[in-house]
Amino acid sequence: MKLTTILFYSLFWLFLYKLTFLSPETPNTPHRFTLARDTQGVPHVYAKTYKDLVFGLGYAEAQDRLFGLYFKKMLVEGRTA
């Protein structure tokens, strides 16, 4: 039972990681901010306003830590049995 659970979560994590890893374009955000990553994958957010900069920072964090955000949401809802 533990092996199947570990396998399921591993595949789920890889699936989410593959969907969000180093996406070069930011959908539905034309000219609000520019998200560039260096060779080590560190995000650099460039924007004209502070509001757009914070939005870009949140977008980059969601790309990198989507599984953690989803897990915290499930934890708060009490669905991590």
Residue 57 pLDDT greater than 80, yes or no = yes
| Rounded mean pLDDT, 49-63 | 86
- pLDDT at position 45 is 93
Residues 73, 61: Cα–Cα separation, whole Å: 15
Give the separation between CA 71 and CA 75, rounded to whole angstroms: 6
Asked if pLDDT for residue 73 goes beyond 90, the answer is: no
Tokens of 59: 């977008």
Q: What is the pLDDT of residue 23?
A: 54
Helix axis angle for 66-77 and 50-64, nearest 10°, is 80
Distance CA 13, CA 39 (A): 23
Task: Round to whole Å and give the CA distance between 65 and 18.
Answer: 12
Please write the tens of the pLDDT for every residue from 10-54: 767 666 555 555 455 555 555 688 889 999 989 999 998 888 888
Structure confidence at residue 67 (pLDDT): 84
- The structure's pTM equals 0.52
Domain that holds residue 13: 2-77
